[in-house]
Amino acid sequence: MTEINKDASLAAPPRENRRGFGATLAPLRPLLPYALRYKRTIAFAFAALLVASGATLTLPAAVRGMIDHGFSTDSAGAVNAYFGAMVGVAAALALASGTRYYFVMTLGERVVADLRADLFRHLASLDAAFYDTAKTGELLSRLTADTTLLKSAFGSSASVALRNMFMFVGAVIMMFATSPKLAGLALAAIPVIVLPLIASGRSVRKRSKLAQDTLAQASAYAGENLSAVRAMQANGAQAPTVARFKRAVEAAYDAAQAATLARAFVTSGAILVVFTSIVAVLWLGAQDVLAGRMSSGLLSQFVLYAVLGASSLGELSSVWSEVTAAAGAASRIAEILEVRPKIVAPPHPTPAPARWRGRISFEHVGFAYPTAPDRSALRDLSLAVEPGERVALVGPSGAGKSTLFALLLRFYDVGSGAVTLDGVDLRALDPLDLRKAIALAPQDPVIFGLSVAENIAYGRESASIDVIVSAAKRAQAHDFISALPKGYDTQLGERGVTLSGGQRQRLAIARAILADAPVLLLDEATSALDAENEAAVQAALHDVMKGRTSIVIAHRLATVLEADRIVVLDEGRIVEEGTHATLIAAGGLYARLAKLQFDTERAGAA
Ligand SMILES: Nc1ncnc2c1ncn2[C@@H]1O[C@H](COP(=O)(O)OP(=O)(O)OP(=O)(O)O)[C@@H](O)[C@H]1O
């Protein structure tokens, strides 16, 4: 993912440029601690692996015994003993293989479940600047598709790789025990096999990273459009959107196809080279048998070990491609895990008082958004709001009203100057403490796919239903909630009941009342509410503002009339301050805005 983290991706050297086994596996290393948490599972898997490999490796020796002794002496007893032993070995092999599969897959699932939880915890900790550039759909793809790839690496691939490594080593040892001469010849062929494998691994890795990236982009695109499905349909944009998504999916297919093709070549190339070398070595062995230098049983034994060794190597090569793909996924996950949030608690945060008084002060604040560093959103802005004061912010679109809120919640740090709460610089506080002191009721409140009660108590899971109901009553929301099919247990959100704008606002106000924070930030809805909703919202606001420092981005005449002070912003600066009457009398920006906005409101109400 290219857009999301300028800082982190610069910190790590581009992975594609590094070579060899170690470099390919390096991205997987941060995952090791996850696996090491489950030492018992690993130990069981390992033990099962040893037993299974050992059992497999005894088979060729049994075959040799059968050929050299079983058939030559006409003792039926020996034949029976050999066959009986083979059944025993097969039983051990079956049991050990099943056990290994169980423990290894469990480990894979466990590691990935832990990793997903950690990744989400990390994503939840990242700051607004990160999300200004990150695409949620891409992040979701990391959380699901990439972790799934890792699961296969930690589960099946690791299991197959380990089994084959054991088998390979065991087979090679047994080949030397059987015939050092033939074994030496066979081993000489190994570099011929392995070197091209490593080389092609890099190209597989690059292609599969590309495939995953393309997939993530397609997911991001689908996510964006589905979350705004009404806008898409209203604009009649289905056909082009569907076509674009299809193109994105096709591009992901092409990339995956290229990776698969590369893998297919690697696999068949490896098998061809391996088996050709074996056949060549065997031909030499056959000469020895013909010349009487070797028994036919011994050659059979060697053949079987060689086939075991070679097929393990072949499987290792195909696993290698999978592991490289997983390494690609791991490096994309690591990219996210490496991003450090910039908004964090200082090492020794100023402790929060039992109750904040709620004095807010912006002192010569200058600020530009990280995505637009050359354009100041606030310029040398100073504003003090006394405890319990009600301030209405008014100004044209883009004046910087929401930016004031964002800085107060410390979603971003100021560029210059400082913002303080009760005289404490926000940067000296733990953001969690700061945000506990502030209740936010946004313009278009987010309603989650939870029950009404859970939505009101969002972030305060321990709130009792009595407290929730009393907050809803004060927010003038109790009546409409009671009229819902299941009252406070009604499911809201995507798969539940949809609320009207005014109802959502009142739910958000109930949330703010429940938060009982000394500071209230309210962004009034611009859309007109019907008269009944309007009156209910105003009454609720009146209640919630009592005894709190409130800053309201005001769009309604009733709100500005009720404010102790109106602050007029324009282009990131405060241009006027006063009450409705004094500002109208002054005939400045406020008077013009008020005429436009509140005249239409009056006309609408009339
Ligand atoms: N996340 C962001 N990244 C970059 N620039 C931003 C971001 N949010 C706002 N801006 C810019 O900062 C300036 C102030 O925006 P802000 O949202 O504070 O205005 P506002 O007064 O709240 O406007 P409105 O009434 O339309 O919501 C604008 O020029 C806006 O384009």
- Look up the CATH number of the domain holding residue 405: 3.40.50.300
Domain that holds residue 253: 6-338
**Helix (H, G, I), strand (E, B), or coil: what is residue 412?**
coil
Residue 596 lies in a domain: yes
Looking at the structure, tell me whether residues 289 and 436 fall in a common domain: no
- Distance between CA atoms of residues 503 and 456, nearest Å: 12
pLDDT tens per residue, range 25-36: 777 787 888 888
> What are the b/e assignments for 475-500, b being 16+ CB within 10 Å?
bbbbebbeebeeebebbbeeebeebe
Looking at the structure, tell me whether residues 334 and 364 fall in a common domain: no
Residue 348 lies in a domain: no
Looking at the structure, tell me whether residues 235 and 307 fall in a common domain: yes
> What value does the mean pLDDT of the chain take?
81
pTM assigned to the model: 0.71
Instruction: Say yes or no: ipTM exceeds 0.90.
Output: yes
DSSP 497: B
Which two three-digit tokens encode residue 446?
Answer: 């987010």
**Gyration radius (Cα) of the chain, Å:** 35
Looking at the structure, tell me whether residues 309 and 422 fall in a common domain: no
Q: Which of 338, 370, 399 is the last residue of a domain?
A: 338
Looking at the structure, tell me whether residues 254 and 133 fall in a common domain: yes
pLDDT for 11 equals 32
- Distance between CA atoms of residues 380 and 581, nearest Å: 27
DSSP 428-452: GS-HHHHHHTEEEE-SS----SSBH
CB 389 within 8 A of CB 564: yes
pLDDT for 463 equals 82
Residue 350 lies in a domain: no
Q: Residue 333's closest CA among 251, 252, 216?
A: 216
135 lines ligand 1 (CB under 6 A): no
Domain count, the chain: 2
- Distance between CA atoms of residues 152 and 241, nearest Å: 33
Residue 132 CA, closest ligand 1 atom number: 1
Give me ligand 1 centre to Cα 407, in Å: 12
Give me ligand 1 centre to Cα 597, in Å: 20
pLDDT tens per residue, range 131-149: 888 777 778 877 887 888 7
Which two three-digit tokens encode residue 222?
Answer: 């689908």
HSE-CB for 513 with a 13 A CA cutoff: 25
Give me ligand 1 centre to Cα 399, in Å: 7
Looking at the structure, tell me whether residues 76 and 120 fall in a common domain: yes
Looking at the structure, tell me whether residues 302 and 450 fall in a common domain: no
HSE-CB for 33 with a 13 A CA cutoff: 3
Residue 351 lies in a domain: no
Looking at the structure, tell me whether residues 402 and 314 fall in a common domain: no
Q: How far is CA 347 from CA 144, 344, 398, 421, 430, in A?
A: 33, 9, 35, 19, 9
Residue 430 lies in a domain: yes
| Residue 400, Ramachandran bin (φ over 0: left; ψ between -120 and 50: alpha; else beta) | left
| Residue 487, Ramachandran bin (φ over 0: left; ψ between -120 and 50: alpha; else beta) | left
**Nearest residue by C-alpha to atom 14 in ligand 1:** 400
Give me ligand 1 centre to Cα 227, in Å: 22
CATH number at residue 209: 1.20.1560.10
Average pLDDT of span 200-204: 70
Looking at the structure, tell me whether residues 332 and 434 fall in a common domain: no
Looking at the structure, tell me whether residues 309 and 178 fall in a common domain: yes
Consecutive H or E run containing 299: helix 296-338
Residue 238 lies in a domain: yes
pLDDT tens per residue, range 343-378: 888 888 889 888 899 899 999 999 999 888 888 889
pLDDT for 567 equals 93
- Distance between CA atoms of residues 453 and 486, nearest Å: 11
- Distance between CA atoms of residues 203 and 262, nearest Å: 7
Least confident segment among 93-97, 332-336, 539-543: 539-543
- Distance between CA atoms of residues 489 and 82, nearest Å: 70
Residue 345 lies in a domain: no
- pLDDT for 51 beyond 60: yes
Give me ligand 1 centre to Cα 531, in Å: 30
Looking at the structure, tell me whether residues 459 and 565 fall in a common domain: yes
- Distance between CA atoms of residues 141 and 217, nearest Å: 9
Residue 567 lies in a domain: yes
Q: Which of 338, 370, 398 is the last residue of a domain?
A: 338
Dihedral angle, C-alpha 456, 460, 466, 467, nearest 10 °? -90
Q: In 136-290, where do the E strands start and end?
A: none
- Distance between CA atoms of residues 367 and 376, nearest Å: 6
17 lines ligand 1 (CB under 6 A): no
Looking at the structure, tell me whether residues 372 and 334 fall in a common domain: no
**Helix (H, G, I), strand (E, B), or coil: what is residue 449?**
coil
401 lines ligand 1 (CB under 6 A): yes
